[in-house]
Structure 1
């Protein structure tokens, strides 16, 4: 029995380690942020469907629109990080450090993470759940900080 338990644990560790290694290779050292965003995409889609189901307003057309919107957000993330990689390369060619442009991708990801969480919270509110004010107000504050206009300075 102990040998079987060890085999299961060893297999789990090997599979988990392999997944982490592949994700780190593809998405970089902060891969967990992208996985978290994907998990929030799924949670938002589910809570949106759940709210629509509770109201008797389930629509495959609206659901498909939501999926397409999320795919668009992923393209937006790729464009933000991809363009910063291009700018960094151009900077190397012209002798200017443009590493700061990496922030573009991180701000886009942060903004989309906040929007996804806010959407999930809104879905819960619309479905009749009692959502703590601290959560809704905290998300408002986070959104204002991340999406702060440059003109305010």
Structure 2
């Protein structure tokens, strides 16, 4: 029973920190962080054990790329929040720009899952075709939504 209490306490601490930093949808950001780690690990395993081309420079480049993803997500949320507040100041409803951050996060989530699946396929792991197709459809829907928003402006 003590182990269960420890796990509960750890989860509580993570959830509290997550909510404090990222709001009530913290689990989406945490999920993205987990996907970053899984993508890095699967990429490393693919390079080391299957492609035999493990390189610390390529690994560092991959980590840097993931850091830039986080910066872009942060910028998208900052810009959307800034425009909403500026809209309130000048009396224009700009609440629709809140979608910038969410669309950015959704796009990167799909990108990470796709990358993980590509790594697994290259390691001869059978990945259900419907999963790959479903991610493709989801990305196209997101792209269509952003194109609609751009054309309305």
Q: Do they fold alike, i.e. is TM over 0.5?
A: yes
Which stretches in structure 1 are left out of the alignment for 5+ residues? none
Shift of 1:16: 2.3
Cα 1:99/1:152, change in 2 over 3 Å: closer
Structure with larger Rg: 1
Hey, what does 1:30 align to over in structure 2?
25
Give the whole-Å Cα distance in 2 for the aligned partners of 1:114 and 1:56: 27
Shift of 1:13: 2.9
* Residue 16, structure 1, aligned to residue 1, structure 2: no
Which stretches in structure 2 are left out of the alignment for 5+ residues? none
Question: How many residue pairs get matched?
Answer: 148
Cα 1:124/1:89, change in 2 over 3 Å: same
Give the whole-Å Cα distance in 2 for the aligned partners of 1:135 and 1:28: 29
Shift of 1:19: 2.2
* Residue 39, structure 1, aligned to residue 8, structure 2: no
1:43-122 → structure 2 map (5 Å cutoff): 43-53=38-48, 54-122=50-118
Cα 1:120/1:92, change in 2 over 3 Å: same
Shift of 1:120: 0.6
| TM-score relative to the length of structure 1 | 0.89
Could you tell me which of 134, 142, 147 is aligned with 1:138?
A: 134
